[in-house]
Amino acid sequence: MASWQQYLQDNRARFLNDYLDLLRIPSISALPEHAGDVRRAAEWVARRLEAAGLEDVRVMETGGHPVVYGEWIHAPGKPTVLIYGHFDVQPVDPLDLWSSPPFEPAIRDGRVYARGASDNKGNFVLAIFAVEALLRGEGRLPLNVKFLLEGQEEIGSPQLPAFIAEHKDLLACDLVISTDGANWGEDQPSVSVGTRGLCALQIDVRGADSDLHSGLYGGTIQNPIHGLGRLLDSMRGPDGKILVDGFYDSVTPLSPEEKENLARIPFDEGTYARSLGAPGTFGEPGFTTLERAWARPTLEINGIWGGFQGEGPKTVLPNEAHAKISCRLVPDQDPEEIIERIRGHVERNAPPGVQVTVRAFPGSARPYVVPRDLPALRAAQEVLSEVYGKEPYFVRTGGTVPVLALFLTHLGAHTITVAFGVEDERFHAPDEFFRLKNFDRGQRGYARLLDRLGGE
């Protein structure tokens, strides 16, 4: 028997090799030709869970890419945590922008370069190593642990909602720890306490039967592009405020405490805009850029098209125009309700002389926010402060992680996201990397977190 700290130190080289092994599997979930590799990754993960001492380990079918489950539930009276992560990765194109091949992990300057190095392989393996260190080193875990590792996160987890709903008993837990996140900086931890929801739709505007000669007919009937432009412009004021009736009604305002937490995070408007190549920041008045990014809903046109798009002029009066819109939602906005509000707005504001239809896209997601008094949040804060020597920022993410709301709905469990990568590690881009400094820190962090949640 050894302390988990000793065990981690003794097995450092082996764990690093295991991590590099996993990175060599090109488990790209978006590309059908890599479906076998996603399954290979699932089997690798299953074997690794078994090696760590987990029980009832299985590769389970979803109808799409598989998930891997494993558990150790021999701590009666102690809480049960479900550790979530994903072993699939994003595609790698453009390949020529990589400094080394994406599935041949290369260590340079204390960093591991490979697709998935940080998102999410580099994070969830650390939790497996931490569990192994506790279990093999000290002979037992301080609480009950289940793993749910999936293979389709990068394509939006299409089969996961049904899978979770159908396996409520197997996955039953008191808390979810998601490893799918990142910290604010190399030495600045952060805890994400919320993600935005999502809904999306398309607006189609139709005029005449076919494109018309703008000389012969221009001025006599409505131009669908003008009609669509009018409609879209009516949805959002020039200042960025969304004008759809009731759009903000269900938004829970930020508490003074959270506003204060966000204001504490160093943020420079100019640096931010320059990093994106934009002339400046812009958005709903009365809120800071971070507040708008994380805690305010959006209505963005994702695409628009109609008429002639080629070189030079073409004097056509087009007969169709289309726009795609998506909204990021914050608690307690409901995606279906927002779609209906937009539909109502379009009906009330439909321009004359054209026909307008609204089609909602499937795949909407509810926003999620961790209750600020959740004891596990306090535990995460303390552990991160300990391993980084610095208080974490409480942040949110503007993106959407549908699984968080699903865990709450189906398992009744809240999720804390604790990860050890950093936001700048080029997720989804060429030369994705992970800092080896956090490879060790992460294993210690997850072990401490489990200890702390088990009541030490």
Whole-angstrom distance, CA of residue 195 vs CA of residue 429: 22
CB neighbour class for 31 (10 Å; exposed up to 12, middle 13-18, buried from 19)? middle
Asked whether position 207 contacts a second copy by CB under 8 A, the answer is yes
Whole-angstrom distance, CA of residue 119 vs CA of residue 154: 10
- Residue with smaller CB distance to a second copy, 341 or 444: 341
Q: Which stretch binds a second copy (CB under 8 A): 27-35, 92-100, 309-317, 371-379?
A: 309-317
Whole-angstrom distance, CA of residue 334 vs CA of residue 326: 14
Whole-angstrom distance, CA of residue 337 vs CA of residue 363: 14
- Residue with smaller CB distance to a second copy, 382 or 424: 424
Minimum gap (Å) between residue 272 Cβ and a second copy: 7
- Residue with smaller CB distance to a second copy, 146 or 236: 236
Whole-angstrom distance, CA of residue 309 vs CA of residue 320: 13
- Residue with smaller CB distance to a second copy, 323 or 418: 323
Asked whether position 404 contacts a second copy by CB under 8 A, the answer is no
Residues in the chain: 456
Are 285 and 240 in contact, with CB atoms under 8 Å apart? yes
Tell which one of 161, 185, 398, 430 touches a second copy (CB under 8 A). 398
Whole-angstrom distance, CA of residue 44 vs CA of residue 318: 55
Asked whether position 248 contacts a second copy by CB under 8 A, the answer is no
Asked whether position 212 contacts a second copy by CB under 8 A, the answer is yes
- Residue with smaller CB distance to a second copy, 76 or 94: 94
Minimum gap (Å) between residue 30 Cβ and a second copy: 13
Asked whether position 344 contacts a second copy by CB under 8 A, the answer is no
- Residue with smaller CB distance to a second copy, 53 or 240: 240
Q: Which of 118, 136, 88, 15 is nearest to 435 (CA)?
A: 118
Q: Which stretch binds a second copy (CB under 8 A): 67-75, 80-88, 172-180, 222-230?
A: 222-230
Asked whether position 412 contacts a second copy by CB under 8 A, the answer is no
Asked whether position 399 contacts a second copy by CB under 8 A, the answer is yes
Are 368 and 332 in contact, with CB atoms under 8 Å apart? no
Are 33 and 42 in contact, with CB atoms under 8 Å apart? no
Site for a second copy in 259-298 (CB under 8 A): 272-273, 276-284, 289, 292-293, 296-298
Whole-angstrom distance, CA of residue 26 vs CA of residue 273: 34
- Residue with smaller CB distance to a second copy, 27 or 288: 288
Tell which one of 139, 253, 303, 412 touches a second copy (CB under 8 A). 303
Site for a second copy in 167-206 (CB under 8 A): 196, 198, 200, 202
Three-state DSSP class for residue 3: coil
Minimum gap (Å) between residue 231 Cβ and a second copy: 9
Whole-angstrom distance, CA of residue 399 vs CA of residue 153: 13
Asked whether position 240 contacts a second copy by CB under 8 A, the answer is yes
CB neighbour class for 373 (10 Å; exposed up to 12, middle 13-18, buried from 19)? exposed
Task: State both tokens at 104.
Answer: 């041949």
Asked whether position 30 contacts a second copy by CB under 8 A, the answer is no
- Residue with smaller CB distance to a second copy, 140 or 213: 213
Are 206 and 224 in contact, with CB atoms under 8 Å apart? yes
Site for a second copy in 358-397 (CB under 8 A): 361, 363, 397
Minimum gap (Å) between residue 201 Cβ and a second copy: 8
Q: For residue 386, give every residue at least 6 positions away whose Cβ sits within 8 Å of its Cβ, in sequence order, or none.
A: 448
Tell which one of 109, 169, 210, 373 touches a second copy (CB under 8 A). 210
Q: Which residue's entry shows tokens 């959270």?
A: 258
